[in-house]
Amino acid sequence: MKEILLCKYGEIVLKGANRRYFEDTLCKTLRFRAKHFGNFEITRSQSTLVITPQDEYADIDGMFETASKVFGIVGISRCAVCEKDMDAIRKTALEYLPAFLRGKATFKVEAKRSDKRFPLNSMDIAREVGGYLLSAIPTLRVDVHHPEIIVHVEIREYGAYIHAGQFKGAGGMPVGTNGKAMLLLSGGIDSPVAGYMIAKRGVQLEGVHFESFPYTSERAREKVFTLAREVAQYAGSFDLHVVSLTHIQEELVKNCEEDYFTLLLRRYMMAIADRLAHKRGCGGLITGESLGQVASQTMQAIGVTDPMTSLPVFRPCIGLDKEEIVQIARKIGTFETSIQPFEDCCTVFTPKHPRTRPELSKVIEQQERLNFEALVQEAIDGAYIERIRTEF
């Protein structure tokens, strides 16, 4: 029995004259990932990508798992292919479907006859297959209105496709179809979720991580690399710029009032991220800020940090509460890494009473106590790039 994967498009079907561009990008992503699982052919057919193993060594289980994390696909079905003959269809259905029907009490069969030369129409095909399954599996019953599972039989040009139970895909748009943006990636829960959410809209990621070694540890750095790799399972491989803020923080402690430390540090981070983003061709910045969650994320605090960039700042978590963000983190597999107890730069030299309603003029007055441009450039010059690769 031959098994293939059917991947249904999402928003791509709504595109007009440039739909082909989105399809090509999606196919390119799947072909790249397929190389790690063996020899597969990927073709298009009626708003569906068909992934077909070309030999017995192709790992269809691994291909299914990686395809489920590719943005642009809303549903994936494992599918058996047989000859366009009712005896072959009935036999294949009985051999292939029990694993999908196990534990289900009700079902129905839907058939689609794309090849009009096939002698039976769609209703006849559904009736034949449904009756055969009922006689072979007596625990099942038909429910045409609210079935627990739907069995699909499709008569196509090159064979009959039999599948049941479509699995949910990652959704969104293919990565790379909507530009590139710089993700400010910390070791917390929120920023990996923000990166995932913006990548889902077709944005290619580049990342920047701020550390304060030796106040932060090697293990804290490795934690962030792990988070980046977990995001890359969905967003694809990307470059992560690692920037030291140690000297900047030490200068803040020496020269500025304590309750401004966090705000001033955020301004430095935004300025550095902005310059790296321009240098690398990014069209925006991405942060994990949620309005009012901490002192640096009040409306007024965000208002004094945003002027440090000329780019749009995407904050997909801004209206989510913590539990909503945690739910997404659990879903994408970053939560357990995020809660590992290794400090990041934002927890170093934290003021006891940070400003929550700062005035921009007073923040600038504090900033002018330092050589802002020199410190920004020093941090950029000392940065290095870690290539974050998708792990298969």
Distance in angstroms (rounded) separating the CA atoms of residues 263 and 251: 14
For residue 108, the cross-strand partners are: 150
> Which position has the token pair 């058996």?
80
**What pLDDT does residue 16 have?**
85
Instruction: Describe the crossing of helices 372-381 and 261-279 by its angle, rounded to 10 degrees.
Output: 50
Give yes or no: residues 82 and 191 share one domain: no
Domain boundary among 132, 148, 168: 168
- Is residue 169 classed as helix, strand or coil in its secondary structure? coil
Task: Give the separation between CA 388 and CA 89, rounded to whole angstroms.
Answer: 45
Q: What is the tens place of the pLDDT at every residue in 280-326?
A: 999 999 999 999 888 788 999 999 999 999 999 999 999 999 999 99
Last residue of a domain, one of 168, 190, 225: 168
Q: How far is CA 175 from the centre of its chain?
A: 9
Please report whether residue 173 resides in a domain. Answer: no
The CATH number for 48's domain is 3.30.2130.30
Decide: 141 and 50 in contact? Cβ < 8 Å: no
Each residue of 244-283: pLDDT tens digit?
A: 999 999 999 999 988 888 899 999 999 999 999 999 999 9
Segment 325-336 shows an average pLDDT of 97
What is the C-alpha to C-alpha distance for residues 386 and 93, in angstroms, rounded to an integer? 49
How many domains does the chain fold into?
2
Residue with tokens 């430390």: 261
- Domain span including residue 228: 180-388
